[in-house]
Amino acid sequence: MKLPDFLQFAPFSRLREAMGADKLGAFEFFDPRLHLTAAERERLVAGVWLGWAQLRCLPDYTLAYKNSRVLLWMNAPGGAEAGSGWAAPCYHLAYCRSLQAVRRASPEKRVAVATALPAPDPWPWRVCSDCLQQLQFRGFDAARARHREYSDRVLEQFNVEDFFREYPVYPITSDVLRALDSVV
């Protein structure tokens, strides 16, 4: 079936004129490799498990699953990811130093991503300080000794709503996504 060229289609041109719409606007076809469906977005609130290959690192070092920014965590409260005994369960905001190390050590590992925090397990999850360092979130810089108190305060007062205000969850445009490989 041959469709008419809607750009030259008189009834639409009249309608555009009547609406005062002199620009055609931009639209994109839905691409399931890049775009979340409504159902996927809903599932992403509670968390979705995936492999590294499905994860993207954005140019600002935050993490994305398809066209949504995400938080990331692994199964192991108890600090198994750091390999250094017990620690409060920790979630990531960015493709930070410690996440890169986990990726190198465990290429088969599955990770959870979500647009909201996981439920306390049994303690509240804490943000990864390497992620704050990677993003220099609100000037966080643990490497500067004289800045230490300030950085400790940023870490202590961190909340996810602030993070998503600076790094909006959704949607990340396809131009950005197409230019990226997965974190592999």
Sites of contact with Zn ion (CB under 5 A): 92, 96, 99, 128, 130-131
Our CB check for Zn ion shows the closer of 64 and 130 to be 130
Kindly state the smallest distance separating residue 35's Cβ from Zn ion, in Å. Answer: 26
| Closer Cβ to Zn ion, 35 or 130, answer by number | 130
Q: Which residue is nearest to Zn ion (CB)?
A: 128
The least CB distance from residue 153 to Zn ion, in Å, is 19
Alpha carbons 12 and 124: distance in angstroms, whole number:
55
Looking at the Cβ atoms of 96 and 172, the one nearer to Zn ion is 96
**Smallest gap, in angstroms, from Cβ of residue 128 to Zn ion?**
3
State in angstroms the smallest separation of the CB of 98 from Zn ion: 5
For residue 177, what is the enclosing H or E element? helix 174-178
Contact 132, 158 (CB under 8 A): yes
Give the nearest distance from C-beta 125 to Zn ion in angstroms. 12
By beta-carbon proximity to Zn ion, the closer residue of 36 and 71 is: 71
The continuous run of DSSP H or E covering 113 comes out as: strand 110-114
Peptide bond into 118 cis (omega under 30): no
Nearer to Zn ion, 128 or 155 (CB): 128
Distance CA 184, CA 16 (A): 46
Smallest distance from Zn ion to CB 168, Å: 20
In this complex, which beta carbon is closest to Zn ion, that of residue 35 or of residue 93? 93
As given in the structure block, the two tokens for residue 129 are 């300080």
Residues with Cβ within 8 Å of 73's Cβ and at least 6 positions away in sequence, in order, are 89, 90, 91, 92, 111, 112, 114, 118, 125
Structure tokens at 56: 């993207």
CB–CB of 49/112 below 8 Å?
yes
